[in-house]
Amino acid sequence: MTISWFGLSSFKIVGRDLTIITDPFGKQTGLSAVRGAADVVVSSNPKLDWCNNFSSIQGSPFIITGPGEYDIKGAFIIGTAAENKELGDLTIYSIEVEGIRIAFLGPIKQGQLTDAQKAIFEGSDLVLIPTGGKQILDFENGAKIATQLEPYIIIPHSYKTSGLTLNLDKLDKFLQEMGNKYEESDKLTLKKKDLSGEQTSLVVLTPQR
C-alpha cells in the first residue's frame, strides 16, 4: 500500500486492487485541483469545498459522504459523526486496506474524541490528523489526539502550504510539539509486516502537484 498527499486533507491511498482518494478539493483553495482516477472517494463533508471536488476524479468511483460501514473491493471503511461548528457536520473514517488500518480525521475541530469515535479507531496503524488551527484542529490538540491513538505512524495534514489561500497555521508548531523528530517523503509505502514495535514515527509528506 502507498499513501501520497495532495494537500489539505486530500490523500491518495493505493492498494493492490483499488485506489482511494480522500477529500478532493478544487482550485478555489489556491492549489491545483485534485485529479486522478479512483475506485472510492471518501468525503469528510460533501458540502464543504475543501472536500467535494468529485467531478475531477476520473473513473466511476463509489463516493462515501457520511457515517456507515462500507466494504468495497477488499477495503473496509467505517464512518462516524464528528464536530466542527464552523465548517458544518463532518464524518471521520477508519479505512482498512491490506490489513493496515488508517484513522482518517478530516477538518474536525474538537478537543478530544468521543467514546464512539475512539471505538472505530481502536488498533489503528496510521493516523492522518489535521494541525492547521483556525477553523480546524490546532497543533496542540492534533498532537494529543494522534498520540492517544497509539499508532505506528502519524501523518499531519491541513496546514499552510505554498499557494494555499486558506488561513491555516504552518506545520512548525506541530513538529515542535511532537519533539521535532520526523522524516519527510514524497509518498509512504507500507506492508502490514513492516508495522511493529512500540515507537510512533512522524512522517511529513510532500504535497503532490
The pair phi, psi for residue 19, each rounded to 5°, is: -125, 130
How high is the pLDDT of residue 196? 83
pLDDT grade, residue 50 (50/70/90)?
very high
How high is the pLDDT of residue 151? 96
Encode 123-168 in three state secondary structure: CCCEEEEECCCCCCCCHHHHHHHHHHCCCCEEEEECCCCCCCCCCC
Domains of the chain with bracketed CATH: 2-180 (3.60.15.10)
Residues 189-207: pLDDT tens digits?
Answer: 999 998 987 789 999 999 9
- Judge if pTM exceeds 0.85: yes
